[in-house]
Amino acid sequence: MLFLLFWRFTEFGGPIHQRPVQDVAYAITRFIQRGGSFFSYYMVWQPKYGHLKELHRAIKMCVRALVSVDPIVTSLGSLQQAYVYTLETGDCASFLSNYDTKSAARVLFNNMHYNLPTWSISILPDCRNVVFNTAKVYIKRG
């Protein structure tokens, strides 16, 4: 079991550390795709709250596969990988990663093309449809 904690203390009078929500979501998703199982937040506000809420919704859609099998990791390019969790029943969940910090990538996975933004991970709870990408922040209004 792996653990990941996300908090940073601010020194009195020191700089306030700002971590973009995309970076937090990327770190958590990378941790989960590699078998991580517990993480914690401290004092999360908008837009982080909404983005991380959507991340957790996507992860919950993959739970059966994530807790049942180890992933098969395959290369999709020089800086792109797929982590695929496949159950004997045929159920499947996958994470498509683009580790390139400068360029987006178009990859072929399961005979379909996917556009992966720079430094991001896409979650496919059925190994076909992207339900979440760490680099795309969706803010619900109203």
Structural domain spans, the chain: 3-133
User: Given this model, what pLDDT does residue 100 score?
Assistant: 97
Q: What is the mean pLDDT of each run of 10 residues along the chain (142 residues)?
A: 46 66 88 80 72 91 93 97 95 97 97 97 98 85 53
Q: Are 100 and 118 in contact (CB under 8 A)?
A: yes
Which residues in the chain belong to E strands, given as ranges? 3-6, 38-41, 72-75, 80-86, 92-98, 105-109, 112-116, 120-124, 132-133
Q: Look at residue 4 in the predicted model and tell me its pLDDT.
A: 44
Distance CA 14, CA 109 (A): 46
- Please report the pLDDT score of residue 31 as a whole number: 87
